[in-house]
Amino acid sequence: MTVAAGADLLGRVRAGEALACARLMSLAERGDSRFVAEYARFHQELGRARRYGITGPPGAGKSTLVEGLALHWRALQRSVGVVAVDPTSPFSGGALLGDRVRMSRLALDPGVFIRSMATRGVFGGLARASDDVVDVLDIYGSDTILIETVGVGQSEVDIARSADLTVVVLHPGGGDTIQAMKAGLMEVADIYLVNKADMPGLDRLVEQLTDILDLRDMPMAERPPILTAVASTGEGVPALADELDRMHAARQASGALARRRADNLEKRVRRLVEGRLRHDIWEALGLAETLSQRIAQIGPHSAWSLADEILDSYRRRRPPETHA
Amino acid sequence: MSRTETSRDSAHDQWQGAFDKAGVRDASFETVSSAPVAPLLTAADVAATDPVADIGLPGQFPYTRGPYPSMYRTKLWTMRQFAGFGNAHDTNERYKFLLGKGQDGLSVAFDLPTLMGYDSDHPRCEGEVGRCGVAIASLKDMEALFDGIKLSDVTTSMTINSSAAIVWAMYLVTAQKQGCRLDQLGGTTQNDILKEYIAQKEYIFPPQPSMRLVVDTMEFGAKHVPRWHPISVSGYHIREAGSTAVQELAFTLADGFAYVEAAIERGLLVDDFAPRLSFFFNSHVDFFEEIAKFRAARRIYARRMRDRYGAKNPRSMQLRFHTQTAGCSLTAQQPLNNIVRTTWEALAGVLGGTQSLHTNSMDETLALPTETAVKVALRTQQLIGYESGVANTIDPLAGSYFVEDATNRMEQGALDIFARIDELGGVIPALEKGWFQREIGKAAYKFQREMEAGRQIIVGVNKFVDTEDEQPMDLLRISMETEHQQVRELAELRRTRSAGKAEAALERIRADARSSVNLMPAFMQAADAYATLGEMVDVLRAEFGTYREPAVF
Amino acid sequence: MDTPIRVLVAKPGLDGLDRGAKVVAAALRDAGMEVIYGGLHQTPEAIAEMAIQEDVDAVGLSVLSGAHMHLFPRVVNLLTKAGAGHMLVTGGGIISAEDMTELTKLGVGRLFGPGATLKELVEYIRAEVGRRRAAARSV
């Protein structure tokens, strides 16, 4: 089935047709030029949806938490979109996307749309097209969008670039919690959620988190709150939902949200530009192939001078930029 | 060193030298569980095995050689073919056929709606009624199932798990209506919910309330149905899901011990309920691996029951088990080969000392068995029992260097797994973390890859493949008419029964579920009032909740 | 390079024996596909919804309960009604050759019974999805 044939795809997405929404997302994932064309038509309407990132180490119960949050907002008649991102295997290029199976209570609710994505070679928690897919959910009409990623270092920073607010989910007994904390989690959490709060080790973990926050020497008012929950029973989930909405509203009022979104936009443009450059250099101009051949010809050589050669080739085969 | 030992060592060195020079055929020399097999075992390999404490005698602790002193010299194993399909009337006819052909005991297979606690007319059951087993939605169906069969005259094994307590209640009431007393009834309910979470996935409620139901049946059985085995702790399904032999052994025994602990926590005394526990193992293709598994199972169980759980009654320490030959070893290609596979798998069960045995039919990879196929399967057991001579002596392989060494390895492997489970916090915490499921999934994937790489040979599938088309066999077909008929009959039942009696009985289930009262009497009352299985389970769903698995890879 | 093939692997109906489904999911991932694992005890309606939201190329169903003549066509019909008839519906389980032929007539793709290899299944999905994608592009 082609997208160009027949009815206006974007119109159908705006009208809330799930299949159209899914197809537009696929175009985004493929980096299809048709998506870019549609994007030009709809980007002005973006920004209605609240975007919350949910990240943390594996085993923290993020999917169960996302399900709980979605159920909570659904009961309030708010539509919910979920983007669940899992890593692509570096060996096979394939991925096992097992998040939506943990959200089975959301099945067959027309007010919920769940999309699973694989990172597709991008290192870190997000996929290249995650932002685009989230934008499609915004246009589709989702009131609140949850973006779930596995947090193992770099990804926490990634997800903060796409969300209005980021929740970092930890759990007692997760030995890698400390590592995750060291890896950059501290900078991006707007809220800490300690899930599986019925397990032993809760107090110690909260203490550790508090100590780390102390070291950052922030005024108390600006500190990310530490909440607890038992997502499998629903305990603590409404409180998290309320806190997210409260923070969102407050930042909207104060202008902080607009600043965050502007910042995110800047980072996103840089990513897009860098992505395109990478593609242009290595693929479009075939310089990856060229490099391999060079190395095969000359053997061990200075990495620096080879890099210069590549950049030189790139510059020479591009026409000079003209300024408007 | 003695002169015998020196000459023995030099003989061994000589043999090793000659062996190393000889050619090696192209094979992996591993069991189907990927356990490496040594080319030769000698007395030296079992020098540390104590002939009394480790091997012993049949009917004596640790029961390695069998739970009873006389084993098959007194009575052959029970030949019990699992059967069930269509509606109760169809299955009733198959039971009469099998009893007429010399089968000793009945074994009931239920359809998926019954197993999952749904009535045949529930919308989720469309297309599923009567396909994998018999549809039992109410006491009326149970009565028809055993029409003309006096329940005090037979023993019946019922393969039912999450809805076991309710289906058992229907069986008990049926027996009472036939004029039997509860204490005359013998049989088994599988009722092993832990392996459902781990392998078969026929669960309804979460673990805690499910364990409560299991202990309710153990308690009720101990008091009122003393000849009944309330649980058959099962490894069969774990193995079918892809586990290795030692995983099957260890996971099953661990589940068994979890039930023992739950019953003790309820306040039951171990010697009051343990004599009625039974087990159910798979008998797979690697002949000696399976025999070692069965013998190790008895030894491990006896030691733990005595030393950890304080059992004093010998009957509490004797592991008794039913065996089924491995369904997953059968092939759709060249189905006649399955008769041969089933034969040696059955033989392994017998040489392993099983108390009862089901042999699969050759056509079961594609459908439930036809009469012809199931007759051959039954005859297989009869041929082994009456012609092969293996049942003339007890535990004939005892003392074999290879078998005793393999038994020792099985035991050690199982103990290692028990330690791992303890580290994870016990059986229920481990299954909630998805540990068993992940281990089984890994083993299953590994086996598939090895099979496709040609390292595990399956005749007819990756070796000795026939390129000519096979003659299609006549397969058993279940028509949609069974389903339509069930739906009609259920509507009729609901119309003609006393609505008041059924309602009141369901209310009692609700009240008893909320308290800690044993639920069996309430189930029996509801069965007698012709409340349906689905209605009873729905009350429990509302009270206990439903289970969702952790979905791990 | 073509975008990865997306496959939904799920079990419709009451049958819970997921050894095959899990082995297939792992194999498809190892073959470079993106596998959305839909889980056990799913209704045909839930499966169709998942397939649509995930815009999969193929849906792989595992049915060992004998209820395949009811479940497979139901999924095909739901997808077709929703405008997703281009999605390949394949799978396996305990299905006789006769029933497989019947199901093909009803719009189901090739099915893989006992003894089929993962290799065959992977190759089939790659080839068939490739064929369908090419056909869609040429319209």
Structure-derived torsion over alpha carbons of residues B294, B300, B305, B308, reported in degrees to the nearest 10: -160
What element of type H or E holds B108? strand B106-109
Is the pLDDT assigned to residue A50 strictly greater than 60? yes
Q: State how far the Cα of C22 lies from the Cα of C25, in Å rounded to an integer.
A: 5
Q: What are phi and psi of B146, to 5 degrees?
A: -110, 20
* B90 alpha carbon, distance to own chain's centre: 24
* Residue whose structure tokens are 């198959």: B94
SS3 at position B232: strand
End-to-end alpha-carbon separation of chain A, Å? Answer: 41
B125 reaches C (C-beta below 8 A):
yes
Q: State how far the Cα of B329 lies from the Cα of B339, in Å rounded to an integer.
A: 11
Are residues A102 and B551, on separate chains, in Cβ contact within 8 Å?
yes
All partners of chain A with 3 or more CB pairs under 8 angstroms: B, C
B474 compared with A163, residue with greater pLDDT: A163
Cβ within 8 Å of residue A140, ≥6 positions away: A13, A14, A16, A21, A81, A113
Is the pLDDT assigned to residue A324 strictly greater than 50? no
Kindly state the average pLDDT of the residues B152-181.
97
Kindly state the average pLDDT of the residues B509-514.
98
Structure-derived torsion over alpha carbons of residues B394, B400, B404, B406, reported in degrees to the nearest 10: -110
Residues in chain A closer than 8 A to B545 (CB atoms): none
| Residue-level pLDDT at A165 | 95
* Tokens representing residue A218 in the block: 């922030």
CA torsion through residues A201, A206, A209, A210, sign: negative
* Closest Cα in chain C, distance from residue B242 (Å): 7
Structure-derived torsion over alpha carbons of residues B261, B262, B263, B268, reported in degrees to the nearest 10: 80
Is the pLDDT assigned to residue A184 strictly greater than 80? no
Q: What are phi and psi of A270, to 5 degrees?
A: -60, -40
Residues in chain B closer than 8 A to C115 (CB atoms): 331-333, 458, 460-461
Closest A-chain CA to B550 = A102
What pTM does this model have?
Answer: 0.90
* Closest Cα in chain C, distance from residue B10 (Å): 48
Are residues C26 and B445, on separate chains, in Cβ contact within 8 Å?
yes
Q: Which amino acid is at A12?
A: R
Helix C68-81 / helix C97-105 crossing angle, nearest 10 deg: 20
Q: State how far the Cα of B15 lies from the Cα of A194, in Å rounded to an integer.
A: 64
A80-99 per-position pLDDT tens digit: 999 999 989 989 999 999 99
Q: Which A residues in the span 224-283 are in contact with B, Cβ-Cβ below 8 Å?
A: none
| Residue-level pLDDT at A152 | 63
Is the pLDDT assigned to residue A306 strictly greater than 60? yes
End-to-end alpha-carbon separation of chain C, Å? Answer: 21
* Closest Cα in chain B, distance from residue C70 (Å): 5
Q: Say if residues B447 and C19 touch (Cβ distance below 8 Å).
A: no
Indicate which of B115, B124, B126, B193 best probes the interface with C, i.e. most C CBs within 10 Å of its own CB: B126
B368 compared with A318, residue with greater pLDDT: B368
Is the pLDDT assigned to residue B141 strictly greater than 50? yes
A212-247 per-position pLDDT tens digit: 888 777 788 788 999 999 999 999 999 999 999 999
Task: Categorize the per-residue pLDDT at A29 as very low, low, confident or very high, splitting at 50, 70 and 90.
Answer: very high
Q: State how far the Cα of B212 lies from the Cα of B216, in Å rounded to an integer.
A: 6
* B79 alpha carbon, distance to own chain's centre: 14
Residues in chain B closer than 8 A to C97 (CB atoms): 472
* Closest Cα in chain A, distance from residue C103 (Å): 23
Residues in chain B closer than 8 A to A104 (CB atoms): 548
Task: Categorize the per-residue pLDDT at A2 as very low, low, confident or very high, splitting at 50, 70 and 90.
Answer: very low
Best CA proximity match to B287, nearest among B226, B379, B351, B337: B351
Kindly state the average pLDDT of the residues A146-171.
79
A17 compared with A270, residue with greater pLDDT: A17
* Closest Cα in chain A, distance from residue B145 (Å): 37
A107 reaches B (C-beta below 8 A):
no
* Tokens representing residue B79 in the block: 């030949």
SS3 at position C35: strand
| Residue-level pLDDT at B4 | 77
| Residue-level pLDDT at A271 | 83
B170-228 per-position pLDDT tens digit: 999 999 999 999 999 999 999 999 999 999 999 999 999 999 999 999 999 999 999 99
Mean pLDDT rounded to a whole number for chain B: 94
Indicate which of B112, B119, B239, B240 best probes the interface with C, i.e. most C CBs within 10 Å of its own CB: B112
CA angle A251/A253/A259 to nearest 5° reads: 50
Three-state SS string across chain A, please? CCCCCCCCHHHHHHCCCHHHHHHHHHHHHHCCHHHHHHHHHHHHHCCCCEEEEEEECCCCCHHHHHHHHHHHHHHCCCCEEEEEEECCCCCCCCEEECCHHHHHHHCCCCCEEEEEEECCCCCCCCCCCHHHHHHHHHHHCCCEEEEEEECCCHHHHHHHHHCCEEEEEECCCCCCHHHHHHHHHHHHCCEEEECCCCCCCHHHHHHHHHHHHHHHCCCHHHCCCEEECECCCCECHHHHHHHHHHHHHHHHHHCHHHHHHHHHHHHHHHHHHHHHHHHHHHHHCCHHHHHHHHHHHHCCCCHHHHHHHHHHHHHHHCCCCCCC
CA angle C86/C90/C93 to nearest 5° reads: 160
Q: State how far the Cα of B56 lies from the Cα of B65, in Å rounded to an integer.
A: 7
Mean pLDDT rounded to a whole number for chain A: 87
| Residue-level pLDDT at A10 | 96
Structure-derived torsion over alpha carbons of residues B445, B448, B451, B455, reported in degrees to the nearest 10: 0
* Residue whose structure tokens are 């926050």: A213
End-to-end alpha-carbon separation of chain B, Å? Answer: 54
Q: State how far the Cα of B131 lies from the Cα of B14, in Å rounded to an integer.
A: 60
B230-281 per-position pLDDT tens digit: 999 999 999 999 999 999 999 999 999 999 999 999 999 999 999 999 999 9
| Residue-level pLDDT at B365 | 87
Indicate which of A1, A9, A12, A117 best probes the interface with C, i.e. most C CBs within 10 Å of its own CB: A1
Residues in chain A closer than 8 A to C83 (CB atoms): 1, 19
Are residues B548 and A98, on separate chains, in Cβ contact within 8 Å?
no
Give Cα separations from C6 to A98, C2, C9, C53, C56 (angstroms): 13, 12, 10, 12, 5
Kindly state the average pLDDT of the residues B487-503.
96
Cβ contacts of A12-19, under 8 Å, gap ≥ 24: A13/A136, A13/A139, A13/A140, A14/A42, A14/A139, A14/A140, A14/A141, A16/A140, A16/A141, A18/A110, A18/A113, A18/C49, A18/C52, A18/C53, A19/C52, A19/C55, A19/C82, A19/C83, A19/C84
Is the pLDDT assigned to residue B316 strictly greater than 80? yes
* B269 alpha carbon, distance to own chain's centre: 25
CA angle A127/A132/A138 to nearest 5° reads: 125
Are residues B551 and A96, on separate chains, in Cβ contact within 8 Å?
no
Task: Categorize the per-residue pLDDT at A58 as very low, low, confident or very high, splitting at 50, 70 and 90.
Answer: confident
SS3 at position B157: strand
How many residues in total does chain A contain?
324
Cβ within 8 Å of residue B122, ≥6 positions away: B113, B534
SS3 at position C100: helix
Are residues C43 and B124, on separate chains, in Cβ contact within 8 Å?
yes
Task: Categorize the per-residue pLDDT at C30 as very low, low, confident or very high, splitting at 50, 70 and 90.
Answer: very high
Peptide bond into B58 cis (omega under 30): no
Is the pLDDT assigned to residue A156 strictly greater than 50? no
- DSSP secondary structure letter of residue B122: S
| Residue-level pLDDT at A124 | 55
| Residue-level pLDDT at B471 | 61
Q: Say if residues A100 and A84 touch (Cβ distance below 8 Å).
A: yes
Of C14, C26, C115, Cβ closest to residue B128: C14
C→B interface, C-beta within 8 Å: 13-19, 22-23, 25-27, 37, 39-41, 43, 65-67, 69-71, 94, 96-98, 113-115, 117-119
Q: Which amino acid is at B217?
A: T
| Residue-level pLDDT at B102 | 83
* Tokens representing residue B117 in the block: 């606690």
| Greatest CA separation for chain B | 88
Q: State how far the Cα of A85 lies from the Cα of A58, in Å rounded to an integer.
A: 12
Give Cα separations from A1 to A37, A169, B260, B550 (angstroms): 19, 40, 59, 36
* B17 alpha carbon, distance to own chain's centre: 45
Are residues C35 and A95, on separate chains, in Cβ contact within 8 Å?
yes
* B332 alpha carbon, distance to own chain's centre: 23
Of B128, B201, B368, Cβ closest to residue C17: B201
B320-350 per-position pLDDT tens digit: 999 999 999 999 999 999 999 999 999 999 9
A100-120 per-position pLDDT tens digit: 999 999 999 999 999 999 988
Residues in chain C closer than 8 A to A88 (CB atoms): 4, 34
| Residue-level pLDDT at C71 | 97
What element of type H or E holds B277? strand B277-283
Of B548, B552, B553, Cβ closest to residue A104: B548
Residues in chain B closer than 8 A to A98 (CB atoms): 551-553
All partners of chain B with 3 or more CB pairs under 8 angstroms: A, C
Is the pLDDT assigned to residue A320 strictly greater than 50? no
C88-113 per-position pLDDT tens digit: 999 999 998 899 999 999 999 999 99
C43-87 per-position pLDDT tens digit: 999 999 999 999 999 999 999 998 999 999 999 999 999 999 999
SS3 at position C119: helix
Kindly state the average pLDDT of the residues A170-190.
71
Helix B520-528 / helix B499-514 crossing angle, nearest 10 deg: 170
| Residue-level pLDDT at A180 | 58
